[in-house]
Amino acid sequence: MTTAAGYNFGYLDENSKRMIRRALLKAVAVPGYQVPFGSREMPLPYGWGTGGIQVTASIIGPDDVLKVIDQGADDTTNAVSIRRFFAKVAGVATTERTAEASIIQTRHRVPEAPLREGQILVYQVPMPEPMFRLEPRLAETRKLHALADYSIMHIKFYEDIARTGHIATSYNYPVMVDDRYLMSPSPIPSFDNPKLHRMPALQLFGAGREKRIYAVPPYTKVRSLDFEDHPFQPIRADGTCALCGSRESYLDEIVTDDRGGRMFICSDTDYCGTRAAGQEAAE
């Protein structure tokens, strides 16, 4: 196990890691609350996962097994790049298997397979403030969180319904954490929102450019914001995976020709690959 010459284990210096771990502890103690932290410049650009990378760099140890996904897949270019980064600066073992990983860093998805106690899911977050499109001023949204005044979000949903009959938010669908803080689940599809509720694994969220960290401790109540007469409804393409035949997983739509041809495949490559291998073995 070797790490890159000239850099500390996990790239960040120990004092920076300690600062980030303190922010993480506060975040875990106050579920859903955005903790400001002294985000560092990382060798990967802002907007490409620096928050998640800093969180992972601060919690990773030599015995950890790391999985990195983007859009649910292990082989998307940015996931490859981040996984290589940690293989280089921390020399840790990496895996594509959800069940084998102790830390999973993700962008835009929650794995299909349920996570267990002891695992940590690290989300890359572009905009930690769930209300930023309605109120861009941070000093104002801080006040709204302090007062637990989330009426602007309810009004936005109400207006969506009045106009289209639906809540128009499909991804980055806001959630209430532990009945107290409104939280952005990061731009995961709303299909994934129910997985956050009472998840046995620890969920950590890092926003590097915006310099915020927040967390959902294991088994915490997470409710997608909705109305009694317009309950939250996760969306999924009505299709079957062409590779593994799943009718439950979240699907990517693949355009196969210029005459309207489409096929669907699982967005979670490990889930899909495991199922397909199991089917082959059974045959």
Q: Taking the complex as a whole, how short is the minimal distance between the CB of residue 247 and another protein, in angstroms?
A: 15
> Does 271 sit near another protein (CB under 8 A)?
no
- Residue 158's H or E segment, with its range, is helix 151-164
Catalytic residue among 51, 165, 241, 261: 241
Identity of the amino acid at 4:
A
The phi, psi pair for 29, rounded to 5°, reads -70, -30
> Does 13 sit near another protein (CB under 8 A)?
yes
Alpha carbon of 237 to those of 167, 246, 267: distances in Å? 17, 12, 11
Task: Tell me how far apart the alpha carbons of residues 234 and 109 are, in angstroms, rounded to a whole number.
Answer: 14
Catalytic residue among 52, 72, 208, 272: 272
Q: For tokens 């709303």, what's the residue? A: 190
Handedness of CA 160, 166, 168, 169 (dihedral sign): positive
Q: Which of 5, 165, 228, 281 binds another protein (CB under 8 A)?
A: 165
> Does 139 sit near another protein (CB under 8 A)?
yes
10 as an active site residue: the answer is: no
> Does 158 sit near another protein (CB under 8 A)?
no
**In the chain, how many H helices and how many E strands?**
7, 12
Which of 135/178 has CB closer to another protein?
135
DSSP class of residue 260? S
Task: Tell me how far apart the alpha carbons of residues 230 and 225 are, in angstroms, rounded to a whole number.
Answer: 10
Question: x-or-dash pattern for another protein, window 188-227, by CB under 8 A?
Answer: xxxx-----------------x-xx---------------
Q: What residues line the site for another protein (CB under 8 A)?
A: 7-8, 11-13, 15, 19, 36-43, 45-48, 50, 70-73, 75-78, 80-81, 84, 107-109, 126, 136-139, 164-166, 168, 170-172, 187-191, 209, 211-212, 235-237, 243, 250-256, 263, 265, 267, 269
Which residues are catalytic, by number? 32, 241, 244, 266, 272
